[in-house]
Amino acid sequence: MRVLEINDVAGTATGFREGLRRLGHEAELFQPTIGTYRRSLPFRVAIPLVRAFESRRMGRIYRERGFDRLHIHYETFGVMGILAGLPYDLHCHGGMVTHASRPVSSRLIALGLARARRVFYATPNLAQHVLPLRPDAAFVPNPVDVEYFAPAGGGARGTFRVFSISKMDTTKGWDHILAVLRALRALDDPPEIEAFGFGTEPRSRIRERVEALESCGVRVLPKLDREGIRRTIRSADLVLGQFAVGAVGMSELEALACGTPVCCRFEFEGAYAAPPPFLSTRSVEETVAAVRAARNDRGGLEARGRAGREWVVRHHSLEAAARVLAGRMAD
């Protein structure tokens, strides 16, 4: 099979490319222009023309190099397959949720889903949004580079450290996360906490959230490169994930791969042959209690970290995810 991967959402297209190659398939990546939510108005006005031009170039590469599968990531990019006049597989990553209130893009997403040869979704919570439009859609887990994101080893840790790995977005459960971080910092012996200081919501709202974290002694981090993320995960005793939709993204999976336990809200254990060993909580009180209990049981925390590493290797390694993808494409 020869697969052209389109649009490297959170490194997933790169991961599938490598995983497919390891399984003996040929795979390449075509990266279109991305990132419109922070771009200037002239850029946003020009994006339809940019997409049309890139779609033609993508189609030319697909035909000239003899690919037989076009695997497009993110719902709004399905239009590129339509413009190129090619059969395509569309991989959903949450765009249906993000664009639900946007009439034009939500209609384009519906059209892209309808025209796709196969439809996949990256997290199990998306089934409720995708299946009503494409009952034949299938869950395909995200690929994680478990060789790069691996435990660092080393000696005993000192102060207990927590890393809040989600963006400052409501869709990540930001109100819950902020309440948890404040409660932890208010303890008599508070843990060290690092958290990201960026998100996709209006800049004024992000500034308010950064100030809220700084006021309670949380170290606020800028957007980090891949090495910076790995280093910060490895330095933490526990990672706080997202708490809004009951599922997780690449960040939580990469933390598990590093052997760092993850506390988050996870409600889709049935999506896997074996449930993931997350510290799953719903309320702020439950989350704070789980962090405190983990802090007081370092041996149990280390065992959970090892179990998390084993689970993500089994279900989300590059080869494991690519094997599921190839099987779905062959159905």
Same domain for 97 and 18: yes
The two structure tokens encoding residue 66: 């003899």
What is the model's pLDDT at position 105? Answer: 78
- Report the C-alpha gap between 104 and 108 in whole angstroms: 6
What is the model's pLDDT at position 291? Answer: 98
Same domain for 165 and 136: no
- Predicted confidence band at 154 (pLDDT cuts at 50, 70, 90)? low
Same domain for 184 and 297: yes
pLDDT per position as a tens digit, 219-256: 999 999 999 999 999 999 999 999 999 999 999 999 99
Most distant CA atoms of the chain, gap in Å: 65
Same domain for 180 and 48: no
Number of domains within the chain: 2
Burial of 153 (0-12, 13-18, 19+ CB in 10 A): exposed
pLDDT higher than 80, residue 213: yes
Nearest by Cα to 100 from 112, 113, 89, 110: 110
pTM of the model: 0.92
Same domain for 311 and 169: yes
Same domain for 166 and 26: no
Same domain for 168 and 136: no
Same domain for 169 and 127: no
User: Which residue bears the tokens 């993931």?
Assistant: 276
pLDDT higher than 60, residue 135: yes
User: Which residue bears the tokens 């992000």?
Assistant: 206
- Predicted confidence band at 97 (pLDDT cuts at 50, 70, 90)? confident
Nearest by Cα to 112 from 73, 70, 82, 68: 82
pLDDT higher than 90, residue 133: yes
- Domain carrying residue 54: 2-140
Same domain for 7 and 132: yes
The larger pLDDT score, comparing residue 16 to residue 102, is at 16
- Report the C-alpha gap between 26 and 19 in whole angstroms: 10
pLDDT per position as a tens digit, 34-93: 755 455 666 666 778 888 999 999 999 999 999 999 999 999 999 999 999 999 999 999
